[in-house]
């Protein structure tokens, strides 16, 4: 049986009179892939932000392995191995795709015991055993970004920007990766190909994944477990075919007349 890598217990978050999250209890086993669904304002991103340190819960506790990460700063949590991508990609827009990845691997080197501001271009990055440029080139190939190697990030298509943001997050070799709406802004023609490729790379690395998603076909295709949020609470937690067809999920998220797709 897989060990629990992340445990959120009794999480509560309020913004004045607005309850953004309440009674959130989730255990995530190592190697799992969880899809987080719900309408806008349901509490999905609040949950992700509490896990990654961008919001401090008013009540409750979050543990990563044996470490209590409740209220820790995002940088501290990232260094422990919990990383994320964002709905709006966080990129260096004046730099090329290659330079963005070099920056990501450079930060890994800087944060290591052997890191420093002045290092040789051939200094190996701890955990990889190869220099920054080589690792960046490998990441471009792995995430199918080679064609965009020397293009300035600000002019890249939306789907490419999403993938680059995820590739940069993966530079840390995270134990957990949280993806906030990875297919938003991506065309219908591209979404399955992009998500299939990204999830293939991430799962091959053995990374535990939690992803926020509004497209039920994408959720059914990639999640092995679904958490459904409504009004700040989790109203369903189970396998995709169970959760996506749960009575409350059909009523509040999928809709009365639209049945969830659970096939591959």
Do 168 and 179 have their domain in common?
no
On the question of pLDDT at 5 being above 80, the answer is yes
Do 182 and 260 have their domain in common?
yes
Q: How confident is the model at residue 184 (pLDDT cuts 50, 70, 90)?
A: confident
Q: Which helix (H) or strand (E) holds 159?
A: helix 158-170
Do 4 and 113 have their domain in common?
no
pLDDT of res. 4: 94
Read off the pLDDT of residues 21-41 as tens digits, 9 standing for 90 and up: 999 999 999 999 999 999 999
Q: What is the mean pLDDT of residues 184-196?
A: 86
Do 235 and 220 have their domain in common?
yes
Do 24 and 55 have their domain in common?
yes
Domain boundary among the residues 146, 172, 198 is at 172
Do 75 and 114 have their domain in common?
no
pLDDT of res. 63: 97
Do 51 and 166 have their domain in common?
no
pLDDT of res. 166: 95
Mean pLDDT estimate for the chain: 90
Read off the pLDDT of residues 48-103 as tens digits, 9 standing for 90 and up: 999 999 999 999 999 999 999 999 999 999 999 999 998 889 999 999 999 999 99
On the question of pLDDT at 257 being above 60, the answer is no
Cα–Cα distance list, 143 to 7, 136, 167 (Å) = 30, 11, 7
pLDDT of res. 19: 93
On the question of pLDDT at 229 being above 90, the answer is yes
Do 179 and 166 have their domain in common?
no
Do 164 and 238 have their domain in common?
no
Domain boundary among the residues 172, 194, 213 is at 172
On the question of pLDDT at 260 being above 50, the answer is no
pLDDT of res. 37: 96
Do 211 and 151 have their domain in common?
no
Instruction: Determine the structural domain holding residue 160 and report its residue range.
Output: 88-172
How far is residue 56's CA from residue 257's CA, in Å, rounded to a whole number?
Answer: 38
pLDDT of res. 123: 79
pLDDT of res. 116: 56
Domain boundary among the residues 132, 154, 172 is at 172
Q: What is the mean pLDDT of residues 177-202?
A: 90
Count of domains in the chain?
2
How far is residue 174's CA from residue 168's CA, in Å, rounded to a whole number?
Answer: 11
pLDDT of res. 92: 93
Q: How confident is the model at residue 261 (pLDDT cuts 50, 70, 90)?
A: very low
Do 134 and 112 have their domain in common?
yes
Beta pairing class for 59-64 and 4-15: antiparallel
Do 38 and 160 have their domain in common?
no
Nearest to 109 by CA among 171, 35, 34: 171
Tell me the CATH number at 43: 3.40.50.300
């Amino acid at each position: 049986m897989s060990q629990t890598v992340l445990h959120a217990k009794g999480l509560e978050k309020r913004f004045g009179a607005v309850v953004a999250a309440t009674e959130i209890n989730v255990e995530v086993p190592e190697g799992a892939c969880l899809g987080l669904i719900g309408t806008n304002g349901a509490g999905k991103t609040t949950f992700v932000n509490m896990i990654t340190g961008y919001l401090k819960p008013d009540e409750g506790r979050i543990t990563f392995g044996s470490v209590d990460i409740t209220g820790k700063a995002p940088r501290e949590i990232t260094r422990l191995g919990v990383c994320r991508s964002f709905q709006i990609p966080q990129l260096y827009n004046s730099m090329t795709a290659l330079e963005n990845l070099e920056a990501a691997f450079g930060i890994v080197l800087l944060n290591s015991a052997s890191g420093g501001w002045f290092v040789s271009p051939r200094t190996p990055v701890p955990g990889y055993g190869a220099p920054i440029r080589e690792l960046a080139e490998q990441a471009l190939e792995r995430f199918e970004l080679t064609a965009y190697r020397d293009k300035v990030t600000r002019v890249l298509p939306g789907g490419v920007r999403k993938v680059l943001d995820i590739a940069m997050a993966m530079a840390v070799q995270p134990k957990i990766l949280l993806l906030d709406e990875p297919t938003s802004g991506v065309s219908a023609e591209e979404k399955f190909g992009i998500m299939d490729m990204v999830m293939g790379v991430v799962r091959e690395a053995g990374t535990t994944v939690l992803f926020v998603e509004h497209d039920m076909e994408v959720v059914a295709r990639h999640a092995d477990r679904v958490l459904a949020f409504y009004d700040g609470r989790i109203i369903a937690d189970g396998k995709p075919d169970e959760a996506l067809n749960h009575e409350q999920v059909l009523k509040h998220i999928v809709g009365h007349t639209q049945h969830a797709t659970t096939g591959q």
